[in-house]
Structure 1
Amino acid sequence: MSKTSTMPPATTTLKVPKYLSPSCQQVVEEDFTATTARVLIHSKLGDPKLWPSIEQHICNGAALVSSGHYADMAAVVGEYIWRAYRGRDAEIPGINVGNMEVTKTYIAQEPQPPEGQWLEMETVLQVPDNSSGDIIDATIHSTFRKIKPDGKKVEDLAECTIQFEFYYNWLGEWSNQTGLLKTKIANLRTRARTETSGDVQLMHTKKAYDLFRSFVDYGPKYQNMAEVVCDMKALEATSRLELQTDPGHDYLGPYYLDASCHVSGFVCNTADEDIKKNAYISHGFDAMKITPRFRPYPGANIENYCHMKPLPQDSSILEGHVYILQDGEVVGLWEGVRFKKIPRRILNVFLPPRKR
């Protein structure tokens, strides 16, 4: 071709980051080898599909990114990594999101600033040398960070692990406990009808969320407990769920995960003797094991059960397991869910109510 050609210069094609979900909006970096992987996610809090799940999660008057949001992101990235190794059509295993520790709260500004508020998730995978060498044996660690719009780190927020497991093994283990769980749930309901002490109470949606509002003010799409039965002294409860979301329009992850577990937070924040002076805030969990058999479609028969207890080494922290039952079968389990008692005067310092 002549050097004097008048053809226009070649245009540069900008690479559009890969989109996974409303909570995992941009895969800005990824690198996979046979035994290692790294995936970097950036997400904007004000994204129209993600924002409603944040602005309806109000703690102490401030809209927060919750541990449920982090857990949802971990499940999405875990599935993405699995398919990267196994293929797009591969059956998804059990994705155990564990060791969740939230060290800093991420307060959402209302309204959102023009440049937005941004969240980063970095996930690193390593297949141990002394293992079978298969992805099922990988150790995966995720770190969540508050970042500036240009990607510069502001501070670490949370961390967790991801483990691939065979969920059929979970179902087999849980089936041995199903009978006992059903008995405990039935006993709570019977006591609510027959006892007059007031220790065991049955509450429907409005009353339950009015009590919850002492610390967490959930918007309509989070108000999924149609009925709660709670033993205030024993810190034991069961709830029946009716999902308020619209699968055709809503991003379901945070709503569904919160619905499956937040009876634990309800127990902690409503049973305290001095609810006006103290609040229990999420302190993380040991494992989230949700199987594909958890299918919260409209009209599904879903209930859960938890029994919270003070930690022997720190009575200010309540811990327990939350079982999810659908159609009489245990289909999910949150292990080691923890809430820490914080005096409200201290809470107002590091979690100041939003200003309008």
Structure 2
Amino acid sequence: MSTTTTLPARTSTLSAHHLSPSCQRIMEEDFSSTEARVLIHSCIGDPQVWPSIAQHLCNGVALVSSGHYAEMAAEVGEYFWKAYRGRDAEAPGLKVCNMVVDKTFIAQVPQPSEGQWLEMETVLTVPEYSSGDIIDAQVRCFFRKIKPDGTKVDDLARCSIEFEFLPRWQTSWYNHVGLIKTKIENLHTRARIDASGDVQLMHRLKAYQLFKSFVDYGPLYQNMAKVVCDTKALEATAKLELQPDPQRDYTGPFYLDASCHISGFVCNTADEDITKNAYISHGFDAMKMTPKFNPYPGANIQNYVQMQPLPKDNTVLCGDVYVLQDDEVVGVWEGVKFKRIPRRILNVFLPPPKRT
């Protein structure tokens, strides 16, 4: 007896050319009874996308961030959902998970005339013995560097997408919000009375000057208006005031990075010798952002994280980043990881630009 689970018929026909600034060209798509596949090509030099690359400098080099891949995955996840449930279907809990960046995509500055190109292949299947509904689907995403003609150059990153029920997320987070708010308040209190210097309050300019020891963020990424950091406990909170203008800018990576990069800030400012070591992104277990994450001008948004060494590898720091808006948890980055790399090694595989 066959155990193959079939997908329901696709209910809507969406644009087969342009999906979003990050997902520019749908080159191929196939919606069969057992699998769906979408292949996308995007130029990172596109005028809408390029600022999010050029303003993200690591060791002086412009890089495509993991937030960029996460934003692309979320776009395609929503595309699949609407294809099967209809354009007006209520959004699910869209979890981008198991993000692994195997190879860094280094951007050329300035961009060559033909641009640099990124391919994303996304495959949706449903497990055997499941209901066959898209809520049970498993989606795998593969990111590759390609030539303008589509020839593969390198495998870059991979992740998965899962569809979950938003009320379950919200119920789970509700049980944590009181504790998170207390931890945030305690950090602010200790910053006022701690004489040791281990707990510091800093505003945007100072925070990003410290961050610049490894990551040099341009203006649209500088969204932590106020930071309180305990360098001993690897604990921090930030008030977010978001700079991009959604009427003018492509905001995806700026907003996603803003919600999470307090984790990288903790790692790269707490090391005893930042001249010798740097912490680089080592992926994350899951990104869960709800539609209630709404970074409009003046929104009351803050986040919180406590990083700690992995038990089996103390060169990797890991933690969960909670994102609160109007005192409600609206998103969580689970298992965010940063790995300590000696700068002498980092300068080999990510050589800083030569000074002229």
SS of equivalent residue, structure 2 residue 132: coil
Counterparts of 1:213-292 in structure 2, within 5 Å, are 213-292=212-291
Q: Distance in 1 between matches of 2:184 and 2:68?
A: 28
SS of equivalent residue, structure 1 residue 91: coil
Identify the residue that residue 196 of structure 1 maps to in structure 2: 195
Moved more, 17-26 or 204-213: 17-26
SS of equivalent residue, structure 1 residue 214: coil
1:236-291 CA deviation, whole Å, 9 max, x = no partner? 00000000111110001000000000000000000000100100000000000000
AA aligned to 1:134 is: D
1:90-131 CA deviation, whole Å, 9 max, x = no partner? 111111000000010000001111111000000011111211
Matched-pair contact (CA < 8 Å) for 1:58–1:216: yes
Q: Distance in 2 between matches of 1:90 and 1:35?
A: 22
Instruction: Describe the shift of the 1:81–1:221 C-alpha distance in structure 2 as closer, same or farther (beyond 3 A).
Output: same
Identify the residue that residue 152 of structure 1 maps to in structure 2: 151
Shift of 1:313: 0.3
Q: Distance in 1 between matches of 2:65 and 2:253?
A: 8
Aligned length in residues? 341
Identify the residue that residue 332 of structure 1 maps to in structure 2: 331
Identify the residue that residue 53 of structure 2 maps to in structure 1: 54
Identify the residue that residue 320 of structure 2 maps to in structure 1: 321
Shift of 1:353: 1.5
TM-score of the superposition, structure 2-length normalised?
A: 0.95
SS of equivalent residue, structure 1 residue 65: coil
Identify the residue that residue 70 of structure 1 maps to in structure 2: 69
Confirm or deny that 1:127 pairs with 2:126.
yes
1:165-191 CA deviation, whole Å, 9 max, x = no partner? 111110110000000001000000000
AA aligned to 2:343 is: R
AA aligned to 1:218 is: Y
Identify the residue that residue 212 of structure 1 maps to in structure 2: 211
Shift of 1:34: 3.1
SS of equivalent residue, structure 2 residue 172: helix
Identify the residue that residue 109 of structure 1 maps to in structure 2: 108
Shift of 1:17: 5.7
1:178-222 CA deviation, whole Å, 9 max, x = no partner? 000010000000000011010000000000000000000000000
Q: Distance in 1 between matches of 2:305 and 2:75?
A: 26
TM-score of the superposition, structure 1-length normalised?
A: 0.95
Counterparts of 1:341-356 in structure 2, within 5 Å, are 341-355=340-354
Shift of 1:88: 1.2
1:141-174 CA deviation, whole Å, 9 max, x = no partner? 0000000110011110000000011111101100
Q: Distance in 2 between matches of 1:290 and 1:97?
A: 9
Structure 1 runs of 4+ aligned residues shifted over 3 Å read none
AA aligned to 2:156 is: L
Matched-pair contact (CA < 8 Å) for 1:35–1:133: no
Root mean square deviation of aligned Cα? 1.0
Q: Determine what percentage of the aligned residue pairs are the same residue.
A: 72
Name stretches of at least 5 consecutive residues in structure 1 with no aligned partner.
1-15
